[in-house]
Amino acid sequence: MIKNKVYQVLAQTFNALQNCIKSNNEEWRVNHTQKILDICLNNLPSGSGVDGGTKFDFDDSKENKLVLFCSFHHMNENGMYDGWTDHQIVITPDLAFGFNLRITGQNRNDIKEYLYDLFYSDLMFEISWCWAAQTNKGKKIRIKI
């Protein structure tokens, strides 16, 4: 069983996906794509305002940059939903601290600070990967890698 942080597993899997695309390995391209989707679904923010979950941006991500996307559902002072803001979460390497995190989009109600804390925490979460199963946040999920 291998232990890595979520951002590391995403980066390693995206790198493997890019290699499969270059070598026309369709079977493993599909496997790596599904693994990335599963990681986002099960390990990255969903709910608590990030009501549509977190999506991986396969087009804008590169070997040295991962890009995620989310929309945040804002509430007014009366607790009523009153609009959305869209955000890219850009992850780049940092030799001293692992990664840098940049949040784009409108900073309505100072939401970027909240999103930074939320994504940083989830990306730094250590997960154990094996062929059979992985456990995170009290959920047991099956992932084929």
pLDDT of residue 1: 75
**Cβ neighbours for 142, distance < 8 A, ≥ 6 positions apart:** 132, 133, 134
Per-residue tokens: 34: 């599904």
Residue 135's pLDDT is 37
Alpha carbon separation from 7 to 76, 98, 127 (Å, rounded): 33, 9, 10
pLDDT < 70 positions in the chain: 129-145
CA distances from 15 to 3, 32, 49, 67 (A): 18, 9, 30, 13
R_g of the chain computed on alpha carbons: 16
Specify the pTM: 0.85
